[in-house]
Amino acid sequence: MAQSLGRKNVPAGSLIGASAPDRTGIVHLGLGNFHRAHGAVHTAQAMAAAGGDWGIRGFAHSSDRVVAPMRAQDNVYSILQLTEHGARAGVVDVHRDTGVAAQDPAAVVAAIADPAHRIVSLTVSEVGYTRDPATGRLALDRSDVAADFVAGSAPRTAVGMIARGLERRAHSGEPVAVLSCDNLQSNGDVTRAVVEEFLQAAGASDDVLSFVATSVSFPNGMVDRIVPKTTDEHAARVADLLGVTDRCPVPAEDFSMWVLEDDFAGGRPAWEQAGVTFSTEIEAYEMVKLRLLNGSHSLIAYLGILAGAPTIDAAWSQDFVREAVLGGIAGDYLPTFTPPTGFDADAYVSELDARWRNPLIGHATTQVGSDGSVKLLQRIPDAALFHLRRGTVPHRLALCTAAWIACVAPPAGFTPDPLSSRIAEPARERLAAAVDGAVTVPDHVRRILTGGFFPDALAEQDDFTARVADLLTLITRDGVRAAAADVAAASR
């Protein structure tokens, strides 16, 4: 049996970038697969190029699924890079300490307050920002959020932990950047807004509010690397390639992109020497990523799930999925924003084609389709409103919405493919309550679209509601291919 991976057992030539020094300069919340394959890798490469005390103190939110195996192997792990031409593996050694936030929230607060830490980075998922879907503001009425307002209580939400950490840090006044690496439009601005809303609701002092306003930066950024969940096959592949056993490897595509606003109040690693782009056009990059990639990803996932496709590449190989997605990119998404300077849409779409086609990635449609009630808010309403306000209906955005409803809140009498039961949807119970007693598909759809799951501005658009209802009717009566065919015909 192969030896276990550990700091003293890193196979020769396999280290990605540099090992971090013992001093930590970054606190990371959301120690999952994406951070380990993205921010951590770019940081290891930046330290190889220019040094720096940028070791990472990483916290998972509530489970020790990643932390326990990482600790057992000195917090090193491997990246299994999966390309169409084969796989290769490398080892990352930048986490100097790991923990579970829910088990020790005081440690998170203390780490954020510690002046040695100059960046607090986040991959807490779209759900972790605890926002109200209808308003986009911090959901003050949620019980977990409200519980965190109580002075002296141990915070449970990510926003509560960040706010309490900054409140304590205000004593030293040391500047720090809070860096969201989640798939949210204007992710830095959103993070600042929810943290400041928290502090105001919790009665923070003017000194604290002023410290956060002037000495804490919240850079916006676009993050991109497809990083699926780890399977036993990935671990076996790593053992073959590296000759050691890794209990928590991370599979990833070889593509990686990170575009950041250069606004780091406490300094930053030399990421510009490690493949990261610094730009003043972040919003445009976010639009490209969140709409063309993520929005399309959701459509591929829900159409695929309804057609019984377990992975993105299996769904993407079906003509009706490709036609709907490519039509959506050209007709529903590209007209809605001005891309960054020099952006080549054809090249970008060709690259997406290759990335989605990659058979080694095995990205589960149900992973991409999970948390749709929160993820779709980034991917559908603003783009849909762009068209609806000009008097046209964005058919593929309506199709994505109908397919999501068919998967997670199916109308009475319709049973979606069994794959749909593997979708983690935090709003499942609230959706079921909203549609309880609905007698027709249009009534079912209206209850969801006006039930606080989407912004009011979209809920008011009767044409959109009607089109979603038409398409959901087709999905339930004639199948998902018939609905996609109807969209194709309507878009000609």
Ligand X SMILES: O=P(O)(O)OC[C@@H](O)[C@@H](O)[C@H](O)[C@H](O)CO
Enumerate binding residues for ligand NAD (CB under 6 A): 30-35, 60-62, 123-128, 158, 182-183, 223, 225-227
- Give whichever of 31 and 284 is closer to ligand NAD, judged by the CB atom: 31
Nearest to 283 by CA among 332, 219, 228: 219
Supply φ then ψ for residue 88, to 5 degrees. Answer: -140, 160
Beta strands in 330-443 (DSSP E): none
Strand 244-245 and strand 216-217: pairing?
unpaired
Residues 132-151, interacting with ligand X (CB under 6 A): none
Listed in sequence order, the residues at least 6 apart from 322 whose beta carbon sits closer than 8 Å to its beta carbon are 316
The total of other beta-carbon atoms located within 10 Å of residue 231's CB is 13
Report the partner that residue 294 touches, choosing among ligand NAD, ligand X, none (CB closer than 5 to 8 A by kind). Answer: ligand X
Does 226 contact ligand X by CB under 6 A? yes
Residues 170-189, interacting with ligand X (CB under 6 A): 183
What does the alpha-carbon distance between residue 61 and residue 104 come to, in Å, rounded to a whole number?
Answer: 10
Does 5 contact ligand X by CB under 6 A? no
What does the alpha-carbon distance between residue 376 and residue 386 come to, in Å, rounded to a whole number?
Answer: 16
- Give whichever of 52 and 105 is closer to ligand NAD, judged by the CB atom: 105
Assigned token pair, 139: 């959901």
Nearest residue to ligand NAD, scored by beta-carbon proximity: 32
Interface size with ligand X, residues (CB under 6 A): 9
- Give whichever of 45 and 294 is closer to ligand X, judged by the CB atom: 294
Does 465 contact ligand X by CB under 6 A? no
Residue 390 CB burial class (10 angstroms; 0-12, 13-18, ≥19):
exposed
Q: Which stretch binds ligand X (CB under 6 A): 222-230, 231-239, 437-445, 452-460?
A: 222-230
Q: Output the smallest distance, CB 173 to ligand X, in A.
A: 36
Report the partner that residue 368 touches, choosing among ligand X, ligand NAD, none (CB closer than 5 to 8 A by kind). Answer: ligand X
Supply φ then ψ for residue 71, to 5 degrees. Answer: -60, -35
- For residue 85, what is the enclosing H or E element? none
Q: Which stretch binds ligand X (CB under 6 A): 80-88, 237-245, 292-300, 343-351?
A: 292-300
DSSP bridge pairs for 361:
none
- Give whichever of 174 and 246 is closer to ligand NAD, judged by the CB atom: 246
- Give whichever of 126 and 246 is closer to ligand NAD, judged by the CB atom: 126
Does 425 contact ligand X by CB under 6 A? no
DSSP bridge pairs for 223:
258
Assigned token pair, 441: 């598909």
Chain residues binding ligand X by CB under 6 A are: 183, 224-226, 293-294, 297, 367-368
